[in-house]
Amino acid sequence: MNTFGLHTFAIAPVWDLDLIEPQMERLKGLGIGLLEIPLLRPEEIDTRRTRAFAERWNVELIPSLGLPASLDVVARPDEALAFLEPAFTVCEAVGSEALGGVTYGTIGKTSGRAPTADEIDGMCSFLGRAAKAARAHGLKLGIEPCNRYETHLINRGIDAAKIIERVGADNIFIHLDTYHMHIEEESFEAGFKAAAPYLGYVHVSEANRGVPGRGMLNWAACMKAIAGIGYSGAITLESMNHVDFDIAGGL
């Protein structure tokens, strides 16, 4: 049984419980069982209040992030690991089981070319260390393939699967997003099949990031592909009515 989730960019530009809580009765009525926290600045999250909120409304939480442009996981992995550490602390404190998103690089940073051997080597080394740090907090670590205009490092489900197999950490999972898949995969069936052994989280997002059904995404093919691999994890709507300023440029 899949849990239906909502990325909170649909209802608020940041994780602001004063904005989010008044909408919870309506959201629960729509079947929402999970909320995704945009973890752009971990120090801004009131973890105690957030955990109490999740327990009060009986919703799961999964924070996600993209590494900021100032970081380089290949050239300066220690800095990137230091950035992730408070994010892992927040995930653990709010009762989440995982951190998702673009945890391997920066959204909006691309060479315009295929990743080099040095980039792949550096990214895999970094992810191995990041997975170990996540495990120390009892967490899994998601890697979200993004389209070629946002990153050149991991674009498809098959790319993410190869990276996970090379790293060899059992707490890394693939976080697929139908918006990116619509651009990069040959088909939803091919993308979901390639990711299936490691798939742990799914963003469903329209081709224009708006209201599902008001864009060009083939939702019937998407849902058939998800059902076809027997995926039973969370399916989270990412519809960007609000986007925090720090991430908007990268998107």
pLDDT of residue 52: 98
CA dihedral (167, 60, 206, 70) in degrees, to 10, reads -50
* pLDDT band at residue 244 under the 50/70/90 scheme: low
Digit-coded pLDDT (tens) for 174-215: 999 999 999 999 999 999 999 999 999 999 999 999 899 999
SS3 string, 161-199, reads HHHHHHHCCCCEEEEEEHHHHHHHCCCHHHHHHHHHHHE
- Specify whether the CB–CB gap between 28 and 6 falls below 8 A: no
Digit-coded pLDDT (tens) for 104-163: 999 899 999 999 999 999 999 999 999 999 999 999 999 999 999 999 999 999 999 999
CA–CA separation, 221 and 212 (whole Å): 14
Q: How many Cβ atoms from other residues are within 10 Å of residue 196's Cβ?
A: 18
Residue located via tokens 């299936």: 196
b/e per residue 100-118 (b: at least 16 CB within 10 A): bbbbbbbbbbbeeeebeee
Q: How far is CA 114 from CA 93, 106, 154, in A?
A: 38, 16, 10
Percent of the chain at pLDDT > 70 equals: 96
pLDDT of residue 251: 56
Catalytic residue among 60, 184, 185, 238: 238
CA–CA separation, 90 and 41 (whole Å): 10
Strands (E), 81-139: 98-106
In the annotation, is 144 catalytic?
Answer: yes
Q: Collapsing DSSP states into helix, strand and coil, what is residue 92?
A: helix
Q: Collapsing DSSP states into helix, strand and coil, what is residue 70?
A: coil
pLDDT of residue 30: 96
pLDDT of residue 227: 98
Tell me: pLDDT of 102 over 60.
yes
CA–CA separation, 141 and 26 (whole Å): 30
Q: How many Cβ atoms from other residues are within 10 Å of residue 169's Cβ?
A: 18
Report the alpha-carbon angle 204-206-207, nearest 5: 125
pLDDT of residue 229: 98
DSSP states of 218-235 as a string?
-HHHHHHHHHHTT--S-E
What's the mean pLDDT in 238-246?
A: 69
Tell me: pLDDT of 249 over 60.
no
Catalytic residue among 36, 119, 144, 185: 144
CA–CA separation, 32 and 59 (whole Å): 8
pLDDT of residue 183: 97
Tell me: pLDDT of 69 over 80.
yes
In terms of Cα–Cα distance, which of 152, 75, 144, 145 is closest to 109? Answer: 152
Residue located via tokens 């120090």: 43
What's the mean pLDDT in 229-237?
A: 98
Tell me: pLDDT of 245 over 70.
no
In the annotation, is 43 catalytic?
Answer: no
* pLDDT band at residue 243 under the 50/70/90 scheme: low
CA dihedral (232, 160, 41, 203) in degrees, to 10, reads -40
